[in-house]
Chains A and B, each alone.
Chain A
Amino acid sequence: MKREEIDVLLMRAPGTNCDLETVRAFRDLGVRAHLVHSQRVFKAKNLLDYDILVFPGGFSYGDYVRSGAIWAKEMEYRIGKEIAEFVDTGRPVIGICNGFQVLVETGFLPGFEGRSPEPQVALANNSHGYQNRWIRMKNIGKGNCEMLRGVPEGQVIACPVAHGEGRFIMPQDKTEEWLERLYDQDQLVFRYVKGDGGYAEGSWPENPNGAYHDIAGICNPEGNVLGFMPHPERAYFGYLMPEWTKKGRPDEYGDGRVFFESIVRYVEARF
């Protein structure tokens, strides 16, 4: 598929943010990015007109009940069937921050046996309250998440987090078993790391929210549904990186570009 024919759907809802940054990142890569209010999508039910589906960050519906819960349930009863069909086609579904919370609440992540009717894991309230800071994360995937094959294994990406609920936890009686399962099925994609690339090992602020095992992002067993708390779109251009003033001039692109480039290249080659 030609790059200029790739259509990305970014759904927005009351309270989402960073949607424009994400649109800009995709458009910079030469694909068509469409920012559409979720109510329009609910009416049109035309998800299959798009090649990539993105749930952006923010605080949909004011984070009422739990982050992402209301939007997730709305999605479930309005276009649950359409989203499931989209996922089944193997096309990429990406949840950034609030989008990750939505994918957990809709049961698509971790989705050990396909979509679960109730959330299997949780993104609980942070150990240190709301965190808006730069972090580093490392791609530890082995290739199951094909859309990220363009991000070299072990590559550290610096980008911001901005959330109050992002502490990845699993049921207490299944935590160790499921961690093994995440590794076995190559579903662990991003972990928080320190400046030297070593894992944060739960230490704050490198692990900004107290996430179990420094987990920042996971994918489904099939690898095409991906969710993570950090915001690579806020690190797409060089002038968004925090230390460019030390160099006098910013680089053209920041750490976040490799992430978007990888997804676009994957869709170009696969579909």
Chain B
Amino acid sequence: MKFNAKVYVSLKKGYSDPEGETTANALRGLGYTVDDVRASKAYEVSFQAEDEETAEAVLDEMCRRLLTNPTKDDYSFEIREVR
């Protein structure tokens, strides 16, 4: 089965996020009322797996082994089968 996933990686809450803070300041400079910005990264991963359960497990492993550093990053993903 073919799957397509979107993975979102962001700094864990509590760690300062200089990119987000700088972006928030710039948005405020443009006149927007912005409370907070957190920067994140997104990946789109296309891959194959036997079934949905396996696909989720494999994707989770990809996140832990490469796409994130568990010390500082939180991650979430959306996964869907491609027909």
Contacts and interface: CB of A to CB of B under 8 A. Distances in A.
A155 interface: no
A44 interface: no
B76 interface: no
A249 B64 CA distance: 53
B12 interface: yes
Contacts of B67: 65
Interface residues of B, number: 17
Interface string B3-35: 000000001101111110010000000000000
A65 B18 contact: no
B18 A127 contact: yes
A61 B41 CA distance: 17
B71 A119 contact: yes
Given A73-B65, A172-B12, A125 B18 contact: yes
Contacts of B11: 124
A127 B71 CA distance: 17
A129 interface: yes
B19 A120 contact: no
B66 A121 contact: no
A119 B64 CA distance: 10
Interface in A102-128: 105, 118-122, 124-128
A147 to B, nearest CB: 26
Nearest to B22: A129
Contacts of A210: 16, 18
- Of the candidates A66, A126, A129, the one having the most CB atoms from chain B within 10 angstroms of its own CB is A66
Contacts of A120: 71
A15 B58 CA distance: 30
Contacts of B14: 172
Contacts of B22: 129
A69 B66 contact: yes
Interface in A156-202: 169-172
A126 B18 contact: yes
A125 B17 CA distance: 8
A73 B66 contact: yes
B72 interface: yes
Interface in B32-82: 64-67, 69-72
Contact of A66 (B15, B64, B65, B69): B69
B18 A172 contact: no
Interface string A220-231: 000000000000
B15 A172 contact: yes
Contacts of A170: 71
B40 to A, nearest CB: 12
A157 B28 CA distance: 41
Given A65-B66, A69-B66, A122 B18 contact: no
Query: Which 6 A-B pairs give the minimum distances between C-beta atoms?
Result: A122-B71, A122-B72, A122-B69, A119-B69, A171-B71, A124-B72
6 contacts: A124-B72, A125-B17, A126-B18, A127-B16, A129-B18, A169-B71
Given A105-B69, A122-B71, 8 more contacts: A65-B66, A119-B69, A124-B11, A127-B16, A129-B22, A169-B15, A169-B72, A210-B16
